[in-house]
Amino acid sequence: MPNGQYSFRWMRKGSASGPKFAEFFAGIGLVRLALEESGWTLAFANDIDPDKREMYDGHFKDAAEHFDTTDIHLLSTDRIPTVELATASFPCTDLSLAGGRLGFKGRHSSTFWGFMRVIEGMKERKPPLILIENVFGFLTSHGGSDFSSAMKSLNDLGYYVDPFILDAKWFVPQSRVRLFIVACNQDLPQYSTTRTASHIRPAQLTDFIQKHPDIQWRLFDPLTPPVNSSIKLKNIIENLDSDHPAWWSKERAEYLYNQMSDRHKAIADRMIEKHTWSYGTVFRRVRKQSDGSKRSMAELRTDGIAGCLRTPRGGSGRQILFKGGYGRFAARLLTPRECARLMGADDFEIVTPNNQALFGFGDAVCVPAVKWIADHYLNPALAEIKKSSSMRKAIGA
C-alpha cells in the first residue's frame, strides 16, 4: 500500500488518545521518542538498569508515573496495562561476538524469555502487535536455533512473525544494522507470501525463512525505506574550539596516527593536506600481524558515515573523531551530543556524565528507523486490526 495512506485523528503527536504501547528493556527511552512522533502513547516502561533510568528521568519528566525497574523475570503482569503494542529491545550482549555468542544460554539475552513470560501472562489482554529489536547476529545465534525457538514461541502465543532488517545509515550517518521482528495476532490482508530477497530481507534472512516452513511467517510488503541519507558525519559534529579540553593532546593524537596501517595513514594524510577540514571516525581493533603477533590498530573510516555506536566497557568500544586539514590533524572521542545525533535523538536532554551517556546511546535504537516502522508498518497494521474488529462487531461475530 502507498506510503502516507494511513492518517488518523487519534494518531497525533503528544495526544493521550493515541494507541497505547508498553516499552520493555526501555533503556533511555528512544523507542518511546520514535513511537510518540508517530502518534502512539506510552502506558508502561520497564528496565532494570539504574544508569539508563537516570538518563531516562533526565529527559522524560513523567517517568515516575509509568517506569517500573523490576527485573522482567519477576515482573507481575497485573502491573502492565492493556496496550495495542509491546516493544522489546532485549540485550544483545550474548548474541554478539563481543559477548562470546552464548545466545539464549547467556545471562543477558536470555531475558527474552522473561519478556515472553510477561506476554503469555497477559492472557486475553495480550497486545495485538509486538515489535522486537536486536543485532543481526540474533538470526545466526547457535546455528539459528535461538531465532527459531524465539519465533516458534511467538507462534505458540498466537502471533504470526515478520523479520526484516534496517540500517541506521539509511536515516542518519551511522552504520548500524539491526534485525526487527513484528509479530501480529491476526492474518492481515496486507501480508504477502513472497520469499525472495529484498532491500530489507537479504538473502541470508529469506533463506532462513524458506528453510523453516514450520514457522508461521507473514511478510508485510512492499516496504521501501530510504537507501541513502543526505545527512553526513560532518553535519552532526559539534564545533568545539581547538583548545577545548575534549581534544586530545598532540602526543596522544600522534600515537593514534601511528597506530594506523600504511593504507589508513595515506587516507589521513590526504585529509591533512586539504585546505578545508574533513572528518572521519576511528575504532581501535586488535589485528593479527604477519609474524603471528597481535597489535592494536587504528582503523579510519572517511565515507561520511560513523561506525556503529557501542557501549564503552573498560575503555573499549569508544569511537574516535579524526579531524584533518590545513596541514594538521586532531583527535577526540565523539561527544554525547554527537552520539545523540547519530541515533536521531538530536534534542535529547543529557544530564549524566559523559561515559554514562555514551553507554546509554550505544545501547539504544535509532529513532528515525523505529519511526519509519511505526509510520509504514505498525500504524497501517493497527488500522486494519481495528477495521477487522469493527466488522466482526457489526456482524455479531
Read off the pLDDT of residues 146-175 as tens digits, 9 standing for 90 and up: 899 999 999 999 999 999 999 999 999 999
pLDDT over threshold 80, residue 228? no
Q: Residue 396 — pLDDT band, cuts 50, 70, 90? A: low
Lowest-confidence pick of 108-112, 123-127, 242-246, 298-302: 108-112
pLDDT over threshold 90, residue 103? no
pLDDT over threshold 80, residue 316? no
Q: Residue 282 — pLDDT band, cuts 50, 70, 90? A: very high
Tell me how far apart the alpha carbons of residues 80 and 118 are, in angstroms, rounded to a whole number: 9
pLDDT over threshold 90, residue 37? yes
Tell me how far apart the alpha carbons of residues 97 and 314 are, in angstroms, rounded to a whole number: 17
Lowest-confidence pick of 188-192, 303-307, 393-397: 393-397
Query: What DSSP designation does 375 have?
Result: I
Query: Mean pLDDT of all residues in the chain?
Result: 88
Q: Are the C-beta atoms of residues 281 and 301 closer than 8 Å to each other?
A: yes
Give exposure, 270-309, as e/b (b: 16+ Cβ within 10 Å): ebbeeeeebbbbbbbeeeeeeeeeeeebbbbbbebbbbbb
How many residues belong to the chain?
397
Task: Report the alpha-carbon angle 129-132-133, nearest 5.
Answer: 150
Scan for cell 495485538, then name that residue: 128
Strand order in the sheet with 294-301: 294-301, 278-288, 320-325, 328-333
Mean predicted confidence (pLDDT) in 280-307: 90
Please report the pLDDT score of residue 75 as a whole number: 94
For residue 45, count other CB atoms closer than 10 A to its CB.
Answer: 25
pLDDT over threshold 90, residue 11? no
Return the C-alpha torsion angle 63, 64, 69, 73, nearest 10. -100
Please report the pLDDT score of residue 93 as a whole number: 52
Pairing type for strands 294-301 and 278-288 reads: antiparallel
Backbone φ, ψ for residue 78 (5° rounding): -65, -20
pLDDT over threshold 80, residue 229? no
Residue 138 CA: distances (Å) to CA of 143, 351, 381:
10, 32, 25
Q: What superfamily does domain 20-229+362-394 belong to in CATH?
A: Vaccinia Virus protein VP39 (3.40.50.150)
User: With 0-12 CB in 10 A as exposed, 13-18 as middle and 19+ as buried, what is 212?
Assistant: middle
Tell me how far apart the alpha carbons of residues 95 and 134 are, in angstroms, rounded to a whole number: 9
Please report the pLDDT score of residue 209 as a whole number: 96
Per-residue pLDDT reduced to its tens digit, 17-33: 799 999 999 999 999 99
Mean predicted confidence (pLDDT) in 249-261: 97
Strand order in the sheet with 177-184: 67-68, 41-46, 20-24, 85-88, 129-135, 177-184, 160-167
Please report the pLDDT score of residue 5 as a whole number: 37
Between 10 and 15, the more confident residue is 15
Alpha helices in 259-366 (DSSP H): 262-273, 336-342, 354-362
Tell me how far apart the alpha carbons of residues 27 and 45 are, in angstroms, rounded to a whole number: 9
Q: Are the C-beta atoms of residues 31 and 369 closer than 8 Å to each other?
A: no
Any idea where the domains of the chain sit in the sequence? 20-229+362-394, 239-334
The per-residue DSSP string of 138-197 comes to HHHGGGGHHHHHHHHHHHHTT-EEEEEEEEGGGTSSB--EEEEEEEESS--TTEE---S-
Pairing type for strands 177-184 and 129-135 reads: antiparallel
Please report the pLDDT score of residue 12 as a whole number: 43
Per-residue pLDDT reduced to its tens digit, 334-388: 999 999 999 999 999 999 999 999 999 999 999 999 999 999 999 999 999 998 7
